[in-house]
Structure 1
Amino acid sequence: MKPVVPAAILALAALASPALARDALGMFGEWAAFRDPAVPRCYAIAKAAPSTLQRDYQPYADVAYWPRQGVRGQVHFRLSRKLAADAKITLSIGGQKIPLTGGGGDAWAVDKRGDAAIVAAMRSAREMTVSARDARGRGFSNTWQLAGAATAMDAAAVGCAAIR
């Protein structure tokens, strides 16, 4: 497992949303946590494992907290390729297969219960993989190491806990 360097995480944060002031809450293994007070929101984020295969996008996963909207632990995946219009998207984590929904190059849990199941599984699994078909009909997958994910999610939750 190759460690992620701080500059890479900061660059990834810039990809995750428009250029706004962000507070770094910490780096935890493969994961980092940030607070974006302008929105406000907090999130844990990590890049997918590197690949030599064709990519349309830089893939990352994040778990977000939007306190003013009452959203806690919303899971989002930016995938490496544009999805087929009718793509079946599946997350494999901790021996479970969890269906996702999405479009373009993005995928999410189907509902809040799905978010909660994914977050719970992320706390004990070693890695997670999202598999789907791209716009050309080719199968692909993106994998994330979960070292540090639980701590990064906790840091993001605490980072937004006082915001109402």
Structure 2
Amino acid sequence: MAFGGPAQARESLGMYGQWGAFRDPAVPRCYAIAMAEPSTLARDYQPYAAIGTWPRRGARNQVHFRVSRKLAAHARIVLTIADQRYPLSGGGGDAWAPDDRANAAIVAAMRSAPAMTVSATDARGRRFSNTWPLPGAASAMDAASVGCARVR
């Protein structure tokens, strides 16, 4: 499930560390979002991580990553949280969990880890990674869930 850029119309539900929670009433959807840690390396995109809920679609806690570089065709994309590795699906500059079970496992792991990192190979064959701090992520995800709880 793709996200529009973080600059689209939204209502703030709160800031929690480097994570924000927002509601987009036009869709409707709610999401927690954070930018990746800064880097001096080349970037094709501004990387962010988002966990979204679309109540009318019955979709909850959908993990999405915008990575910093255009991905190689058929790139192996891996999310690392603590000592756990999760394979991701993706293309272009985006990556996501391959199914609901993986989404649930990733969201659960995010709640207790200090950081997460996505690693992949870019379109030029170079390895790269993006890292997100996780303090505040659990609160932002909870605020996003509550923000769309009454929407049907």
TM range (shorter): over 0.9
Q: What CA distance in whole angstroms lies between the structure 2 residues aligned with 1:15 and 1:161?
A: 23
Letter in 1 for 2:115: E
Match of 1:95 among 83, 94, 114: 83
The SS at the match of 2:50 is: strand
The SS at the match of 1:16 is: coil
The SS at the match of 1:53 is: coil
Identify unmatched segments of 5+ residues in structure 1.
1-12
- The offset of 1:14, in angstroms, is 8.0
Quote the residue 2:22 is aligned against. Answer: 34
Quote the residue 1:4 is aligned against. Answer: none
Identify unmatched segments of 5+ residues in structure 2.
none
Deviation beyond 6 Å, 4+ runs, structure 1: none
TM-score by length of 1: 0.89
Quote the residue 2:36 is aligned against. Answer: 48
Identity %: 69
TM-score by length of 2: 0.96
Q: List per-residue Cα deviations over 1:10-46 (Å, max 9, x = no partner).
A: xxx98336x32x1100000010000000000000000
Match of 1:61 among 42, 49, 56: 49
Q: List per-residue Cα deviations over 1:85-136 (Å, max 9, x = no partner).
A: 0100000002101000000000000100000000000000000000000000
Q: What do you get for the CA RMSD once the two structures are aligned?
A: 1.3
Q: List per-residue Cα deviations over 1:66-93 (Å, max 9, x = no partner).
A: 0000000000000000000010000000
Match of 1:130 among 86, 99, 118: 118
Quote the residue 1:110 is aligned against. Answer: 98
- Matched pairs, number: 150
Quote the residue 1:15 is aligned against. Answer: 5
